[in-house]
Structure 1
Amino acid sequence: MADSGANLDRAREALRTVFGFEHFRGVQDEVVGRVLASQPTLAIMPTGAGKSLTYQLPATILPGTCVVISPLIALMHDQLRAARTNGIRAATLTSADADWRETQDAFRAGELDLLYVAPERASQPAFRDLLASAPLCLFAIDEAHCVSEWGHDFRPDYRQLRPLLDSFPDVPRLALTATADHRTRADVLDQLGIPAAGLIVAGFDRPNIRYDIRHRQGVAGQLASLMRSVPGPGIVYAPTRAKVETLAAQLAQATGRTVLPYHAGLEPQVRAGNQAAFVASEDTVIVATIAFGMGIDKPDVRFVAHAGIPKSIEAYYQETGRAGRDGDPAQAVMFWAAGDFSQARQRLVEVDEGRQQGERARLDALAALVETPGCRRAILLRHFGEDPPERCGNCDNCLEAPDVVDATEIARKLLSAVYRTGQSFGFGHVQKVLTGAEDERVRQRGHDRLSVFGIVGEDEARLLQPVSRALQARGSLVATEHGGLMLAGDARAILKGEQDLVIVRPQKPERGGRRGRNQAANPVGDPLFEALRELRRELAAEAQVPPYVIFHDATLREMAATRPDSLAELGTLSGVGSKKLEAYGDAFLAAIRRF
Structure 2
Amino acid sequence: MIASAPLTSDNPTDYLKRYYGYDRFRPMQEDIIRSVLSGRDTVVLMPTGGGKSVCFQIPAIMKPGVCVVVSPLIALMKDQVEALHLNGISAAYLNSTQSSKEQRQIEADALAGKIKLLYVSPEKLLSESMFIFLQQLQLSLFAIDEAHCISSWGHDFRPEYTQLNVLKKHFPHVTTVALTATADKLTRQDIAQRLDMNDPAVFIASFNRPNLSLQVLPGTNRFQQIVRLLNMKPDTSGVIYCLSRKSTESLATKLQEKGFMAGFYHAGMSGQERSMVQEMFLKDDIRIMCATIAFGMGIDKSNVRWVIHYNMPKNIESFYQEIGRAGRDGLNSDTVLFYSFADVATYKEMLTENNPANLGLQLAKLERMQQYADAHTCRRQILLSYFSEELTEPCGNCDVCRNPRVTFDGTIIAQKALSAILRLKERVPMNLLIDVLRGSRSQQVLMNGYDQIKTYGAGADLKFDEWRNYLQQLINVGVIEIAYDQHYALKKGILGDGVLFQGKKVELVRPDDAPKVVVEKPKTKTEQAKDELLDRLKALRKQIADEQNVPPYVVFTDTTLEDMARLRPTTPDGLRNVSGVGERKLQLFGPRFLSEIVSYITGKAKDGNTLRGSTQLLTLELYNQGMSMEEIAAERKLTTGSIANHLVHLYKAGYSIDIEALISQPEALDIEAAINEVGLADGRLKPVYDYLKGRYDYGKIQLVAGLMDM
Deviation digits for residues 104-159 of structure 1 (CA, Å, limit 9, x no counterpart): 11222222111111112222333222211101111111111111112111111111
Does structure 1 retain, via aligned residues, the 8 Å contact 2:418–2:496?
no
Does structure 2 retain, via aligned residues, the 8 Å contact 1:148–1:187?
yes
Does structure 2 retain, via aligned residues, the 8 Å contact 1:94–1:118?
yes
Of 297, 302, 325, which residue of structure 1 is paired with 2:300?
Answer: 297
How many equivalent pairs are there?
586
Q: Does 1:132 align with 2:107?
A: no
Code of the aligned partner of 2:365:
R
Instruction: Name 2:98's counterpart in structure 1.
Output: 97
Pair 514,489 (structure 1): closer, same or farther in 2 beyond 3 Å? closer
Instruction: Name 1:326's counterpart in structure 2.
Output: 329
Structure 1 length-normalised TM: 0.88
Unaligned stretches of 5+ residues in structure 1 = 1-5
Instruction: Name 2:381's counterpart in structure 1.
Output: 378
Q: 1:328 offset after TM fit, Å?
A: 0.9
Instruction: Name 1:214's counterpart in structure 2.
Output: 217
Residue correspondence of structure 1 range 543-558 to structure 2 within 5 A: 543-558=548-563
Instruction: Name 1:501's counterpart in structure 2.
Output: 506
Q: Secondary structure at the match of 1:302?
A: strand
Structure 2 length-normalised TM: 0.74
Pair 528,472 (structure 1): closer, same or farther in 2 beyond 3 Å? closer
Instruction: Name 2:86's counterpart in structure 1.
Output: 85
Of 359, 363, 375, which residue of structure 2 is paired with 1:360?
Answer: 363
Code of the aligned partner of 2:220:
Q
Pair 478,394 (structure 1): closer, same or farther in 2 beyond 3 Å? same
Residue correspondence of structure 1 range 29-428 to structure 2 within 5 A: 29-98=30-99, 99-194=102-197, 198-231=201-234, 232-254=236-258, 256-281=259-284, 284-412=287-415
Pair 128,593 (structure 1): closer, same or farther in 2 beyond 3 Å? same
Partner Cα distance (1:344, 1:57) in 2? 42
- Give the CA RMSD over aligned residues: 3.6
Residue correspondence of structure 1 range 1-16 to structure 2 within 5 A: 9-16=10-17
Pair 430,327 (structure 1): closer, same or farther in 2 beyond 3 Å? same
Deviation digits for residues 173-196 of structure 1 (CA, Å, limit 9, x no counterpart): 111111112222222222223467
Answer 1 or 2: higher relative contact order, Cα 8 Å, separation at least 6: 1
Unaligned stretches of 5+ residues in structure 2 = 1-6, 602-710
Bigger radius of gyration among the two: 2
Single out whichever of 450-459 and 531-540 deviates more from structure 2.
450-459
Partner Cα distance (1:230, 1:132) in 2? 51
Residue correspondence of structure 1 range 478-497 to structure 2 within 5 A: 485=491, 488=494, 492=498, 495-497=501-503
Pair 58,491 (structure 1): closer, same or farther in 2 beyond 3 Å? farther
Pair 183,486 (structure 1): closer, same or farther in 2 beyond 3 Å? farther
Instruction: Name 1:3's counterpart in structure 2.
Output: none
Single out whichever of 332-341 and 82-91 deviates more from structure 2.
332-341
Code of the aligned partner of 2:502:
K
Single out whichever of 479-488 and 326-335 deviates more from structure 2.
479-488
Pair 471,593 (structure 1): closer, same or farther in 2 beyond 3 Å? closer
Q: 1:566 offset after TM fit, Å?
A: 3.3
Pair 479,342 (structure 1): closer, same or farther in 2 beyond 3 Å? farther
Does structure 1 retain, via aligned residues, the 8 Å contact 2:217–2:516?
no
Code of the aligned partner of 2:95:
T
Q: 1:65 offset after TM fit, Å?
A: 0.9
Partner Cα distance (1:198, 1:421) in 2? 63
Partner Cα distance (2:567, 2:536) in 1? 15
Deviation digits for residues 339-395 of structure 1 (CA, Å, limit 9, x no counterpart): 212212211212335321111111211111111122121111111111113421111
Q: 1:413 offset after TM fit, Å?
A: 5.3
Pair 12,60 (structure 1): closer, same or farther in 2 beyond 3 Å? same
Q: Secondary structure at the match of 1:77?
A: helix
Does structure 2 retain, via aligned residues, the 8 Å contact 1:477–1:491?
no
Does structure 1 retain, via aligned residues, the 8 Å contact 2:252–2:264?
yes
Q: 1:446 offset after TM fit, Å?
A: 12
Q: 1:218 offset after TM fit, Å?
A: 2.2
Code of the aligned partner of 2:578:
L
Partner Cα distance (1:209, 1:514) in 2? 14
Partner Cα distance (2:156, 2:326) in 1? 19
Does structure 2 retain, via aligned residues, the 8 Å contact 1:342–1:473?
no
Pair 291,227 (structure 1): closer, same or farther in 2 beyond 3 Å? same
Partner Cα distance (2:198, 2:445) in 1? 65
Pair 200,336 (structure 1): closer, same or farther in 2 beyond 3 Å? same
Deviation digits for residues 550-573 of structure 1 (CA, Å, limit 9, x no counterpart): 111222232233333432332232
